[in-house]
Amino acid sequence: MYKNKYINFFLFIAFGYSWVIWTTLYWWTDLPITFIVILGAFGPSISGFLTMYRLRGGTGVKHLLRNSIQFKMSWKTYMIPLLLVPFLFLVAYWWTDRSGALIVREPWRIVPYFLYMLFLGGTLQEEYGWRGYLLDALQSRLSPLLASLTLGVIWTLWHTPLFFMVGTGQMNLSFWAYGLAVIAYTILITWVYNGSSRNLWSAFLMHTMFNVMLVMVGFDVEDGYPIGFVHLTITLWTVVILVIWKTYGKLNYEPLEEMIPTYPSVTHRIREGKE
């Protein structure tokens, strides 16, 4: 299920599609930068669907789609992206001693920004790949923590072209601070994702809220050195250390049955009285 050739296939498509779209359209066309970024960001999800189709055909594709609309989760799972994530951004905001952030002036904008970020701001374009396929593939062969660190590095590197494109949010950020923040947040997403029995909707919420709060707080548009984003990075890693300590590094990981079981599992058969 998680052979190296499939992981390599996924990475080749994810990086190849996004980097080719971003670089060619940015340098050789006059299209709006927002359109270029949105179009190129579909790489990971396209790759996720293609990889699952290669593995399991239509069943794999249906699994990804079905797993992303499992809205029934515990209230604790919902509270992490909807309350804890905004709180962490606000801590960094207060620490930076800033004023005038959009979340303070017009907090109602969270709703439209949430919808935008969910559908066009990165979540749908990426999560069918990063968490829909790659995280499970990595966790099948590495510890949850090491799998998250690996995915965090991959996710950071995938964004690299955006740091050289005028008009992107990444253009105004420190690459090392951004990378450390992405790696830390990847660990938090893994923690929530595993804790929800690998419900992809939980990863959707985590990804969306990070992007929403980045706009609402505005660390990506700071003048001069982006100290606010550095403070956010430190805040995220503080929470990550606590999560690692509390979960003994397992990040709520529990081995589940085959992602798309071919035959009824022994557990299922026992529950039905067949074993």
CA atoms within 13 A on the CB side of 89: 23
Cβ neighbourhood burial of 71 (10 Å; 0-12, 13-18, 19+): exposed
Which pLDDT does position 256 carry in this prediction? 65
* Cα–Cα distance measured from residue 168 to residue 34, given in angstroms and rounded to the nearest whole number: 8
d(CA 23, CA 14): 14
In the numeric block, which tokens belong to residue 234?
């430190």
pLDDT at 220: 60
Helix axes 144-158, 4-28, angle to 10 degrees: 20
State the pLDDT at residue 2: 63
**b/e sequence 143-182, b meaning 16+ C-beta within 10 Å:** ebbebbbbbbebbbebbebbeebeebbbebbbeebbbbbb
Q: Which pLDDT score is estimated for 142?
A: 94
CA 20 to chain centre: 21
Contact 46, 130 (CB under 8 A): no
CB 140 within 8 A of CB 55: no
Of 242, 50, 10, 243, nearest to 135 by C-alpha is 10
Domain ranges of the chain: 4-271
Predicted TM-score (pTM) of this structure:
0.90
Listed residue (9, 263, 2, 11) closest to 136, CA to CA: 2
pLDDT the model gives residue 82: 97
Query: 272: burial class by Cβ within 10 Å (0-12, 13-18, 19+)?
Result: exposed
Residues 99 and 228: beta-carbon distance below 8 Å:
no
State the Cα angle at 119 between 115 and 121, rounded to 5°: 90
Which pLDDT score, from 0 to 100, does residue 174 have? 84
Which DSSP category does 3 fall into? Answer: -
pLDDT by residue for the chain (275 residues), tens digit each? Answer: 566 889 999 999 999 999 999 999 999 999 999 999 999 999 999 999 999 999 989 999 999 999 999 999 999 999 999 999 999 999 999 888 777 788 888 889 999 999 999 999 999 999 999 999 999 999 999 999 999 999 999 999 999 999 999 999 888 888 998 999 999 999 999 999 999 999 999 999 999 999 999 999 877 655 555 788 889 999 999 999 999 999 999 999 987 654 444 434 333 433 444 33
- Give the dihedral sign, CA 176/177/178/180: positive
Structure confidence at residue 98 (pLDDT): 73
The structure tokens listed for 235 are: 């805040």
Please enumerate in sequence order all residues whose Cβ is within 8 A of that of 196, keeping only pairs 6 or more positions apart, or say none: 73, 74, 77, 202
